[in-house]
Amino acid sequence: MSLLEVEAINTYYGDAHTLFDVSLRVEQHEVVALLGRNGAGKTTTLKTIMGVIAPRRGAIRFAGEAIQGLPPYKVARRGVQLVPDERRIIGSLTVEENLVLAGLTAEEPWSPDRVYAMFPRLGERRRNRGRDLSGGEQQMLAIARALVREPQLILLDEPFEGLAPLIVQDLLRVCRDLAEEGRTIVIVEQNVDAALALARRCYVLNNGHVVYEGTPASLRGEPELMHRYLGV
């Protein structure tokens, strides 16, 4: 049994059909990349898994239990955390206050010191308010808030978007460390090289359909497919 099983989900925004029979699986301790051009359905897939949007058809199982249609807070309680592309940190709170707040309802939350060991820059900025952080620091804090809850599955939506190359390298290091610890991650990312460097398997979406499933090595062996669906 896979940790996450998504079976033929169909998702709509109003009357607009956006996901068409999307199926995927994620094994425990695996990093899986969802790739595709803008508008392919990647973020919608994550939001559907998280319960932000309910699928009209199809099934989603996490650790063997059906979760489709559950509200996000119930999905989170089962061990899934979404790091959205908007980050959604609380700008009026300090770094440490954001972390403490994230852990209030967790059974065994991480201590701030554990977070700072993984993100030294956040330790340096622990007294700064969220709105005063750089984009890269805000992204670190968004990931850290998810980790505080000790999730079984982390959904990362465009974690490297719009960040300077040096910051991307720092975040890649953190993601590699998480993968080496055995964390289970689904990553949506436009930076194809970064995503494929992290992932064990990958899916390519196009116009709400899964058009490819395989390993990063096998995808790299399909240059025509990469150019058609990923623009690389």
Phi first, then psi: give them for residue 40, nearest 5 degrees. -75, -20
pLDDT of residue 105: 86
Lowest mean pLDDT among 61-75, 98-112, 168-182, 188-202: 168-182
Average pLDDT of 103-117?
92
Higher pLDDT, 42 or 232: 42
pLDDT of residue 81: 96
Helix (H/G/I), strand (E/B), else coil: 103: helix
Can you tell me the distance from the alpha carbon of 186 to that of 176, in angstroms, rounded to the nearest whole number? Answer: 13
**In the chain, where the domains are located:** 4-79+152-230, 89-145
pLDDT of residue 168: 86
CATH classification code of 4-79+152-230: 3.40.50.300
CA distances from 154 to 79, 93, 136 (A): 9, 23, 19
pLDDT of residue 173: 87
Q: Are 125 and 133 in contact (CB under 8 A)?
A: yes
161-184 residue pLDDT tens: 888 888 888 888 888 888 888 899
Q: Two tokens at 8?
A: 């033929």
69-102 residue pLDDT tens: 999 999 999 999 999 988 889 999 999 999 999 9
Average pLDDT of 19-37?
97
Is residue 1 predicted with pLDDT exceeding 80? no
Higher pLDDT, 106 or 75: 75
Q: Are 99 and 148 in contact (CB under 8 A)?
A: yes
Is residue 195 predicted with pLDDT exceeding 90? yes
Question: Considering only CA atoms, which of 187, 186, 87 is closest in space to residue 142?
Answer: 87
pLDDT of residue 133: 95
Can you tell me the distance from the alpha carbon of 144 to that of 157, in angstroms, rounded to the nearest whole number? Answer: 14
